[in-house]
């Protein structure tokens, strides 16, 4: 089945532990202008789809005979007949087929999983407030959200979640791990964390409702303004525009744009943010698909309100997806200085298809590139000026990266 060319993209962390789920990996999701693509039921009803492949004249290269043999053997002879939930078995088969691609950003979600995911996009956040991904077979913290239970408990980007309430994450499916971490507000979950060369240690987190402020601002010394973007969601653009109006009225001498621990969000919002920062109608990001004729470049609007004010952008290894698009474009166009530590490195594009039984498929269909044609996938963005943030800094409450950014802008004056 060939998907049509769509008009809108979304960058997000796939199974989002931060929101109702808590996370698994990043997705740059390709959507239709009207929303998620809906597929005709006759094409993809789970059992019908498998049967259709067997009976089709355009058969796949793989022989599905063994699949149906195993299906028949289980149906006829498995000892616990009550466990033979055929719909669940089909979902399991589809999950296995998708996971065989060995792409952590391509996944199939059952109706229940899709519902959880959709709730996360609607801002219904309850859990520990941490975005996670699967990296080299380990469940890894990408970023703890601001003021979340995860941040308050001291979780850091790069932490490996070794156990959840004593259960090894290596022995759990991603969804099982997610469901073990999720839970009602006020309940506890114990995560066993591996951090660097240290011995594993337990962190007890109390689940809570997580209210994420998309954009915040603070005036620093000598006309330097500190703007933090925590996510790229539906509220980011209007919040950012309101903040800019106020900042511009005060004749700013410099701006620190903080994208640290920003796991991403909607791609069109990242382009909107760049449209307020980059002069002229210049490239923001390029999307490259399987067929060259389907490639496209997205441009900023040419109506930037903050096109000339000196700027430093802060990044770290929790900076991913949409936030990397912003940082990458600013770096390529030499609009500001990138400072901090190398970003996560998520440069692929996913497409989401909502299926008629309310399950969904998220599939990698392209790569995105910075304006200079650079892929940051699995590499990340290297800062122009590296400034480390250590465990000791976190424990003492100091922020050498922010301090260095403010000093840099003050020195320009």
14 within 8 A of 131, measured Cβ to Cβ: no
Instruction: Give the residue from 339, 317, 313, 333 showing the smallest Cα distance to 228.
Output: 313
Burial 373-408 (b: 16+ CB within 10 A, else e): eebbeeebbebeeebebeeeeeeeeebebbebbbeb
Catalytic residue list contains 270: no
What is each CA distance from 82 to 77, 86, 111, in whole angstroms?
Answer: 12, 10, 21
Angle between helices 267-275 and 322-332 (to 10 degrees): 30
CA distance 255 to 232: 19
Catalytic residue list contains 148: no
Among residues 159, 237, 332, 343, which one is catalytic?
Answer: 332
CA distance 234 to 117: 16
Among residues 23, 346, 354, 359, which one is catalytic?
Answer: 346
Catalytic residue list contains 246: no
Instruction: Give the residue from 337, 327, 311 showing the smallest Cα distance to 380.
Output: 327
Among residues 275, 321, 323, 348, which one is catalytic?
Answer: 321
Q: Which residues are catalytic?
A: 321, 332, 346
């Amino acid at each position: 089945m060939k998907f049509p060319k769509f008009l809108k993209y979304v960058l997000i962390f796939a199974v989002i532990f931060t929101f109702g789920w808590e996370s698994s990996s990043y997705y740059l999701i390709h959507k239709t202008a009207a929303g998620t693509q809906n597929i005709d039921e006759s094409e993809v009803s789970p059992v019908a789809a498998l049967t259709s492949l067997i009976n089709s004249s355009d058969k796949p290269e793989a022989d599905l005979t063994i699949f149906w043999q195993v299906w028949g053997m289980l149906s006829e002879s498995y000892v616990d007949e009550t466990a033979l939930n055929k719909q669940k078995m089909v979902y399991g088969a589809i999950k296995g087929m998708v996971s065989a691609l060995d792409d952590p950003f391509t996944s199939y979600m059952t109706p229940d999983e899709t519902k959880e995911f959709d709730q996360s996009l609607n801002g219904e956040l309850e859990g520990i407030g941490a975005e996670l991904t699967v990296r080299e077979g380990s469940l890894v913290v990408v970023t703890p959200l601001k003021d979340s239970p995860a941040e308050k408990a001291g979780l850091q980007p790069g932490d490996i979640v070794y156990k959840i309430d004593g259960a090894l994450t290596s022995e759990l499916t991603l969804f099982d791990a997610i469901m073990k971490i999720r839970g009602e507000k006020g309940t506890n979950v114990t995560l066993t964390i591996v951090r660097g060369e240290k011995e594993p240690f337990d962190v007890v987190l109390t689940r809570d409702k997580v209210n994420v402020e998309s954009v915040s601002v603070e005036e620093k010394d000598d006309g330097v303004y500190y703007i933090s973007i925590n996510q790229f969601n539906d509220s980011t653009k209007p919040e950012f525009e309101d903040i800019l109006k106020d900042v511009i009225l005060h004749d700013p001498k410099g701006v620190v744009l903080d994208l640290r621990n920003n796991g991403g969000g909607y791609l069109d919002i990242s382009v909107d943010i760049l449209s307020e920062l980059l002069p002229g109608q210049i490239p923001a990001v390029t999307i490259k698909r399987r067929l060259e004729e389907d490639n496209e470049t997205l441009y900023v609007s040419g109506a930037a309100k903050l096109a000339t004010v000196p700027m430093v952008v802060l990044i770290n290894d929790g900076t991913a997806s949409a936030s990397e698009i912003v940082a990458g474009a600013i770096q390529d166009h030499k609009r500001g200085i990138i400072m901090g530590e190398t970003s996560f490195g998520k440069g692929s594009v996913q497409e989401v298809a909502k299926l008629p039984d309310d399950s969904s498929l998220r599939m990698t269909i392209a790569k995105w590139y910075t304006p200079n044609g650079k892929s940051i996938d699995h590499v990340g963005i290297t800062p122009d000026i590296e400034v480390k943030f250590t465990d000791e800094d976190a424990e003492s409450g100091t922020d050498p990266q922010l301090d260095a950014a403010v000093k840099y802008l003050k020195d320009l004056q």
